[in-house]
Chains A and B, each alone.
Chain A
Amino acid sequence: MSSDLTRKTADELAQSLASKEVSSVEVTQALVDRIGSVDGSIHAFLHVDAEGALATAADIDDRRAKGEQLSYLAGVPIAVKDVLATRGMPTTCGSKILDGWIPPYDATVTAKIRSAGLPILGKTNMDEFAMGSSTEHSAYGPTHNPWDTTRIPGGSGGGSAAAVAAFEAPLAIGTDTGGSIRQPGALTGTVGVKPTYGGVSRYGLVAMASSLDQAGPVTRTVLDAALLHELIAGHDPMDSTSIPDAVPAVVAAARRADVKGLRVGIVRELGGEGFQPGVEARFTEAVELLTSAGAEVVEVSIPSISYALGAYYLVMPSEASSNLAKFDAMRYGVRVPPAGVDDPSAEQVMASSRDAGFGDEVKRRIILGTYALSSGYYDAYYGSAQKVRTILARDFDAAFADVDVLVSPTSPTTAYPLGDKLDDPLAMYLGDIATIPANLVGIPGLSLPVGLADEDGLPVGLQFLAPQKADDRLYNAAAALEQLLEQKWGGTLLSRAPELEATR
Chain B
Amino acid sequence: MSTDVLVPFDEAISRYDPVMGLEIHIELNTATKMFCGCPTEFGAEPNTQVCPVCLALPGALPVVNAKAVESAIRMGLALNCSIAEWCRFARKNYFYPDMPKNFQTSQYDEPIAHDGWVEVEVEGETFRIEIERAHMEEDTGKALHVGGSTGRIHGADFSLVDYNRAGIPLIEIVTRTIEVPPEKAPAVARAYVSYVRDLIGGLGVSDVRMDQGSLRADVNLSLKPKGSDVLGTRSETKNVNSFRSVERAVRFEISRHAGILDAGGTVVQETRHFQEDTGTTLSGREKSDADDYRYFPEPDLAPVSPSREWVEELRATLPEPPAVRRARLQNDWGFSDLDMRDTIGAGALDLIVATVEAGTTPQAAKKWWLGEMARRANETGRDLDALGITPAQVAEIQGLIDAKRINDKLARSVFDGVIAGEGTPEEVVVSRKLEVVSDDGALGAAVDRAIEGDPDAAAKIRSGNLGVAGALIGAVMKEMRGQADAGRVRELILEKLS
Contacts and interface: CB of A to CB of B under 8 A. Distances in A.
Interface of A: 84-85, 91, 93, 98, 101, 103-105, 107, 202-207, 209-211, 237-241, 318-319, 321-322, 325-328, 330-332, 346-347, 350, 370, 373-375, 378, 382
Contacts of B102: 325-326, 328
Given A210-B299, A211-B299, A326-B100, A237 B63 contact: yes
26 contacts: A85-B57, A85-B59, A103-B58, A104-B52, A105-B52, A105-B60, A107-B59, A203-B59, A203-B60, A203-B61, A207-B300, A209-B299, A210-B299, A238-B61, A240-B61, A240-B63, A240-B301, A322-B91, A322-B296, A325-B93, A325-B95, A325-B103, A326-B101, A326-B102, A327-B58, A375-B294
Interface in B131-154: none
Contacts of A85: 52, 57-59
A373 B293 CA distance: 9
B105 to A, nearest CB: 11
B58 A378 contact: no
Interface in B436-459: none
A328 B95 contact: yes
Contacts of B61: 202-203, 238-240
Contact of A91 (B56, B58, B103, B300): B58
B379 to A, nearest CB: 39
A331 B59 contact: no
A328 B100 CA distance: 9
Nearest to A378: B296
B189 to A, nearest CB: 30
B97 interface: yes
B56 A331 contact: yes
B58 A210 contact: no
A365 B93 CA distance: 16
B302 interface: yes
Contacts of A239: 61, 63
Contacts of A93: 58
Contacts of A84: 59
A241 B300 contact: yes
Interface of B: 52, 55-64, 91, 93, 95, 97, 100-103, 159, 161, 292, 294-296, 299-302
Nearest to A239: B61
B243 to A, nearest CB: 34
Nearest to B300: A210
B302 A240 contact: yes
B95 A204 contact: no
At the interface, is chain B mostly helix, strand, loop or mixed?
loop
Contacts of A318: 296
B54 to A, nearest CB: 11
Contacts of B62: 240
A350 B62 CA distance: 24
Given A103-B58, A104-B57, A211-B299, A322 B93 contact: yes
Contacts of A105: 52, 57, 60
A264 to B, nearest CB: 32
A256 B452 CA distance: 116
A206 B301 contact: no
Given A325-B102, A373-B294, A374-B292, A103 B59 contact: yes
Contacts of A205: 59
Contacts of A327: 58
A340 B95 CA distance: 23
Q: What are the 7 A-B residue pairs with the smallest beta carbon separation, nearest first?
A: A325-B102, A373-B294, A210-B299, A211-B299, A204-B59, A206-B58, A85-B59
Nearest to A97: B58
Given A240-B302, A325-B101, A328-B97, A373 B56 contact: no
B58 A98 contact: yes
Given A85-B57, A325-B102, 16 more contacts: A85-B52, A85-B59, A91-B59, A203-B59, A237-B63, A240-B302, A241-B299, A321-B294, A322-B91, A326-B58, A326-B101, A331-B57, A331-B100, A332-B57, A373-B295, A378-B296
Contact of A330 (B97, B294, B302): B97
A240 B52 contact: no
Nearest to A382: B296
Contacts of B159: 346
A239 B35 CA distance: 11
A373 B103 CA distance: 13
Contacts of A91: 58-59
* Residue with the highest number of chain A CB atoms closer than 10 Å, among B60, B91, B159: B60
Given A104-B52, A240-B300, A241-B302, A370 B294 contact: yes
A393 to B, nearest CB: 16
Contacts of A350: 95, 97
A255 B91 CA distance: 44
Nearest to A203: B61
Contacts of B101: 325-326
A23 to B, nearest CB: 33
Contacts of A241: 299-302
* Residue with the highest number of chain A CB atoms closer than 10 Å, among B56, B59, B93, B301: B59
Nearest to B35: A240
A322 B103 contact: yes
B472 to A, nearest CB: 71
Nearest to B94: A325
A334 to B, nearest CB: 13
A235 to B, nearest CB: 12
Contacts of A210: 299-300
A474 B63 CA distance: 31
Contacts of A374: 292, 294
A210 B62 CA distance: 12
A347 B61 CA distance: 25
A107 B101 CA distance: 18
A221 B221 CA distance: 67
B65 to A, nearest CB: 11
B150 to A, nearest CB: 16
Contacts of A104: 52, 57
A332 B55 CA distance: 10
A105 B63 CA distance: 17
A328 B97 CA distance: 8
Contacts of B59: 84-85, 91, 103, 107, 203-207
A107 B58 CA distance: 10
A390 B293 CA distance: 25
B95 A347 contact: yes
Nearest to B89: A240
Nearest to A110: B59
Contacts of A209: 299
Contacts of B103: 322, 325
A330 B161 contact: yes
Nearest to B63: A240
A484 to B, nearest CB: 40
A265 to B, nearest CB: 29
B292 A319 contact: no
Contacts of B95: 325, 328, 347, 350
Nearest to A84: B59
Contacts of A373: 93, 294-296
A98 to B, nearest CB: 7
A327 B161 CA distance: 16
A209 B299 CA distance: 8
A101 B58 CA distance: 10
A250 B295 CA distance: 39
Contacts of B294: 321-322, 370, 373-375, 378
